[in-house]
Amino acid sequence: MSNGHLSERAVDGAPEPVDLTDEPIRLDGEDPTPKPNRAGIRARRRRVAWLLATAVGLAGAGTFGAVGWRIFQQQDATVTSPAQVAGLTRDDSEPARSTADYLRNGFSAGIELDQSFGTVYRDPTGERRPVLVFGGTTLLWQPERDLDSLFGLMADETGQVSGLRSLSPGPLGGVLKCGTSSGTGGDFTVCGWADHGSVVMGLFPDHPVGDAADLFRKMRNEMQTR
């Protein structure tokens, strides 16, 4: 994605707007090359995490044992994009799918994922308040570090994400952070969550940080399972 920004362009035949840029959003210039044998990679990662948790558990390694057990608990995550989530409705129009695909592909280029997705949701409280959510699942040894790196990628491509701060991740644990960025359509909130099994980001035009964080947390509770 180059020069990503919010726009006020309407989408023919659909409530406006869907696309956040004059061109579909890209986090990277090209679609990533499909990764081979993802099932085998995921299975090997699972075995490594299980062996780590077992080893530190048998060793009674205190804090490190707790970390190993947390990795074992979180690493086998699934994230879905239901038709309805947290009061939002999935937009399955072609313009929305095109934008979501660019987000998913660009995000996947920044981090190796076992599975990835990108989805546009509509907020019934305002047609100019679409929610774009994208990310995927993989084994992350250091979720906060990886999430911070992805916020850095967002800053490189869409402009500085300012006021980034940690917020409650809710019952699923891990880390959740939100900040703000700007485009021609105004300020928008950028949020991300990460744990040892998933990393997901969301763009929230016309949502204050507090409201976006609450909505993102609710979405996560309905989208993620282990």
Please, which residues bridge with residue 115 across strands?
137
Is residue 170 within 8 Å of residue 150, measured between CB atoms? no
**Does the predicted TM-score (pTM) go above 0.85?**
no
List all residues 6 or more positions away from 176 whose beta carbon is below 8 Å from its beta carbon.
166, 167, 168, 169, 170, 191, 192, 193, 213, 216, 217, 220
Tens-of-pLDDT digits for all 226 residues of the chain?
433 333 333 334 433 433 444 444 444 444 444 445 555 555 555 554 444 444 444 444 454 566 676 676 767 889 999 999 999 999 999 999 998 998 888 888 888 898 999 999 998 877 778 999 999 999 988 999 999 988 888 766 656 888 999 999 999 999 999 999 876 667 889 999 999 999 999 999 989 999 999 999 999 999 999 8
SS (H, E, C) 162-213: EEEEEECCCCCCCEEEEEEEEECCEEEEEEEEECCCEEEEEEEECCCHHHHH
Is residue 89 within 8 Å of residue 130, measured between CB atoms? no
In the chain, which ranges are continuous DSSP H helix? 38-59, 63-74, 94-110, 143-158, 209-223
